[in-house]
Amino acid sequence: MQKITVYEKPTCSTCRNVSKILMEKGIDFEKVNYYIEPFSKTKLKALLNKMGMKPSELLRKNEDAFKNLKAKINRMSDEDILSLMIVDPDLVQRPIVEVGDRAILARPAEEINKLF
């Protein structure tokens, strides 16, 4: 099986649920806390491409960080939104699960089953 990487925030309940599902299935995976190991712009762009998503679709719209910048974000280009997400990881929806040339936003956690 290909390497599975879960980009997460360990305190996130959905991230913990994805880890639990993978462990229950006996699947080996790597966890990356993107608060400690931040996304590069290239990596986040690659993940978005694998998910078929635009940066604006990966924004955590319920976060204060988004609400405080909503008017500004609504006028930003995809490239600018991507840059903002790199600077403020609270804006990135999670968890993102990458397997080879595919990736998904595992929200809700059961979305992980689409990879298997």
Which of 56, 6, 14, 53 shows the shortest CA–CA distance to 34?
6
Q: 3-class DSSP state for residue 7?
A: strand
Question: Can you tell me the distance from the alpha carbon of 39 to that of 17, in angstroms, rounded to the nearest whole number?
Answer: 22
Identify the residue whose tokens are 């991230």: 15
Active-site residues, by number, are 12
Question: Can you tell me the distance from the alpha carbon of 24 to that of 26, in angstroms, rounded to the nearest whole number?
Answer: 5
